[in-house]
Structure 1
Amino acid sequence: MNDLPVDHFVKAQQFVQTTHRDVYPAIDPTQASLSQKGRVVIITGASQGIGARAFVPSFAAAGAKAIVLVARSADKLKDVAELVATSHPNVETLSVSTDIADPASVAALFDKVKEKYGHADVLVNNAGIFKAIAPIKDVDHVAWWEEMTLNIRGTFLMTQSFLKQLPSPETPARIVTLTTGAAYEVFPTFSAYGMSKLAVFELMTYVAVENPNVVAVALHPGMVDTEMMKDMFKKFALDTPELVGGVGVWLAAWDGLDRAFLSGRFVTSNWDVEDLVKRKEEILAGNLLKMDLNATLGAAQFGL
Structure 2
Amino acid sequence: MENPPDDLFVKKQQFTRTVYRDVYPAIDPKEPSNSQAGKVVVITGASRGLGRKAFVPSFAKSNPRAMVIVARSRNDLEEVRDEIHAINKNIEVMVAPTDLLSTESIEFMWAKVKETYGHADVLINNAGTLQSGAISDLPVEKWWIDFETNVRAAFLLAQGFAALLGKERKGNIVNLTTAGAIMVFPGMSSYSLSKLASLQLQAFIAAEHPNISAVALHPGIVMTDMTLDFFIPFAKDTPELVGGVGVWLSTEKASFLSGKYMESNWSVDDLVARQDEIVQQGKLSVGLKGDFGSEQFE
TM-score, with length taken from structure 2: 0.98
Q: What CA distance in whole angstroms lies between the structure 1 residues aligned with 2:213 and 2:2?
A: 39
Asked whether 1:287 is paired with 2:282, we answer yes
Q: Mind listing any 5+ residue stretches in structure 2 that lack a counterpart?
A: none
Instruction: Name stretches of at least 5 consecutive residues in structure 1 with no aligned partner.
Output: none
SS in 2 for 1:120: coil
Asked if residue 236 in structure 1 is aligned to residue 234 in structure 2, the reply is yes
| Aligned partners of 1:67 and 1:93 also within 8 Å | yes
2:207 to 206, 209, 217: 209
Whether contact under 8 Å (1:101, 1:157) holds in the other structure is no
2:221 pairs with 1:223: yes
- Offset at 1:3? 2.5
CA distance in 2, matches of 1:261, 1:250: 12
- Could you tell me how far apart the structure 2 residues matched to 1:249 and 1:94 are? 19
1:72-95 deviations in Å (ceiling 9; x for gaps):
111111110111112210111101
Matches within 5 A, 1:1-304: 3-130=3-130, 132-166=131-165, 168-254=166-252, 257=253, 259-303=254-298
Matches of 1:281 and 1:81, distance apart in 2:
40
**Cα distance in 2 for residues equivalent to 1:146 and 1:31:** 39
Q: CA RMSD in A?
A: 1.0
Runs of 4+ in 1 over 4 A off after TM superposition: none
2: CA distance between counterparts of 1:40 and 1:219?
A: 20
Deviation at 1:261, TM superposition (A): 1.7
**Is the 8 Å Cα contact of residues 22 and 243 (structure 1) preserved in structure 2?**
yes
The Cα shift of 1:223 comes to 0.6
- Aligned residue for 2:76, secondary structure, equals helix
Secondary structure of the residue aligned to 1:123 is: strand
Aligned residue for 2:153, secondary structure, equals helix
> What is the DSSP-based 3-state SS (H/G/I as helix, E as strand, rest coil) of the residue aligned with 1:171?
coil
20-29 or 82-91: which moved more? 82-91
- What letter is aligned with 1:245? G
1:151 maps to amino acid: N
Describe the SS at the equivalent of 2:213. Answer: strand
- State the number of aligned residues: 298
CA distance in 2 between partners of 1:276 and 1:147 (Å): 31
Partner AA of 1:142 in structure 2: E
Whether the aligned pair in 1 keeps the contact of 2:249 and 2:255 (CA below 8 Å) is no
